[in-house]
Amino acid sequence: MGVPYIEAKVPSIYLSEVVHKADMSLLDELLPSHGNDHVGYDKLLLAIQVITFACGGVTIGIKMNHSICDAFSKAMFVKTWASMARGGGQSLLPSPFFEIWKHFPPYPLKSSTNINIASKEPDSNIITIRPVTKWFMFTKEMCNELRSRLCSEYNYQNRPSLTMVLSSFIWSRVKLASNDKTIPHEVYHAINLRPKVDTLSKSYYYFGNMAVNAIAKPSLDNDKSLCHSFITTIEDSIEKISRKNGLIEGLQNGTQNLRYMMQHYKRVTKGEIVSLGFSSLRSLPLYEADFGWGKPVWVTSATLMYSTTVIMIPGGASSDDTYVYINLKPDQMAKLQADQEFMSFVSKCPTFGTFVSSKI
């Protein structure tokens, strides 16, 4: 099929006009339109759109199919592509390694296993009627204030990361905005396995999907107990992944698989649980791709393709601020935006000058 590559010029609009509105529908226009929804998107592995604006600003809109790679792989792909485009090759970069199966052999399917590989049934967590995606900016100062307020019982050495603090706060406010008060709530955090596998070589970057979900059921009694409950349950779930006889070891020796993730999604589809998923990209090399005109000033996301999802992206190469993209049902989003406690920690959109923006 090849890779669709599109170049476009917008001579009458400044890039800042698009960014300052913080309108997800405008950000969606920066992406290649082919395969814009999930219908048939599984057939498209990669699509790229480069737009030049009146101010000289440039956006690079990139779509990559999640079935072949995770966020880390996407970031490394863009970084490698940029290095090759400016003539640097891969001399300063780790080489890609595509044979993840050597570290995680395919799980043997028994003849009686009730899994239809060729099934066209859509992912149970992919949306069919699109909810609302909004992005919010949390400054480093606001995150630290949240940490002081919610996690006062932790000493400095054991204090939770800002990612965990933000996750716990957002989850509490979203749960309060939920109409499903009697249905159990679960949260999951996407975990990159690469730093947790001792046998991986540092000379390569491992391309593919090496992320799993740590699933937990934190309680919500009050704001003070919230952070402790959320952090404790999530960290315990994460610890189970890499402990002896844990998930990583089970995936490597063939005694475990990722069916628990599918079971979680099916329970969400059946309405048995209310789920909220978190994925933090704050530690990924998103701002290191240099095509020859400098590194990106802003990396952002477009409309999320999965329901009840929260994605965290760093605010800039040298910024400790965090952009949070939240995907909710329209009524839940309206309640969240009307939540004074939530909005009191949200900062106004930043002001950019002439800049280059990469989109992943």
Which SS3 state, helix, strand or coil, does residue 290 take? coil
Number of domains in the chain: 1
More confident residue, 183 or 35: 183
pLDDT for the residue 9 = 94
CATH number for position 343: 3.30.559.10
Name the β-bridge partners of 59. 51, 357
| Listed ranges 212-226, 302-316, 340-354; the one with the highest mean pLDDT | 302-316
Which SS3 state, helix, strand or coil, does residue 132 take? strand
Residue 241 is assigned to a structural domain of this protein: yes
DSSP element (H, E) containing 60: strand 58-64
Residue 117 is assigned to a structural domain of this protein: no
Residue whose structure tokens are 């004074």: 340
CA distances from 47 to 31, 58, 356 (A): 8, 17, 19
- Say how many residues make up the chain: 360
Q: Tell me how far apart the alpha carbons of residues 299 and 59 are, in angstroms, rounded to a whole number.
A: 10
Q: Tell me how far apart the alpha carbons of residues 127 and 234 are, in angstroms, rounded to a whole number.
A: 25
Give residue 22's region: left, alpha or beta (phi > 0; psi -120 to 50).
left
pLDDT for the residue 20 = 67
pLDDT for the residue 35 = 47
Residue 116 is assigned to a structural domain of this protein: no
Domain ranges, residue 21: 5-110+122-359
Residue 31 is assigned to a structural domain of this protein: yes
State the first-to-last Cα distance of the chain, in angstroms, to the nearest integer: 21
More confident residue, 312 or 270: 312
pLDDT for the residue 118 = 40
DSSP element (H, E) containing 300: strand 298-300
Q: Place 176 in a pLDDT band, splitting at 50, 70 and 90.
A: confident
More confident residue, 205 or 178: 205
Q: Tell me how far apart the alpha carbons of residues 21 and 28 are, in angstroms, rounded to a whole number.
A: 13
Residue 115 is assigned to a structural domain of this protein: no
Residue 167 is assigned to a structural domain of this protein: yes
Residue 38 is assigned to a structural domain of this protein: yes
Q: Tell me how far apart the alpha carbons of residues 54 and 26 are, in angstroms, rounded to a whole number.
A: 16
Residue 135 is assigned to a structural domain of this protein: yes
* Residue 50 clears pLDDT 90, i.e. is over it: yes
Give the HSE-up count for residue 353: Cα atoms under 13 Å, Cβ half-sphere.
0
Q: Tell me how far apart the alpha carbons of residues 202 and 69 are, in angstroms, rounded to a whole number.
A: 19
pLDDT for the residue 223 = 54
Q: Place 197 in a pLDDT band, splitting at 50, 70 and 90.
A: confident
- Burial category of 43 from C-beta neighbours within 10 Å (exposed 0-12, middle 13-18, buried 19 and up): exposed
- pTM attached to this predicted model: 0.83
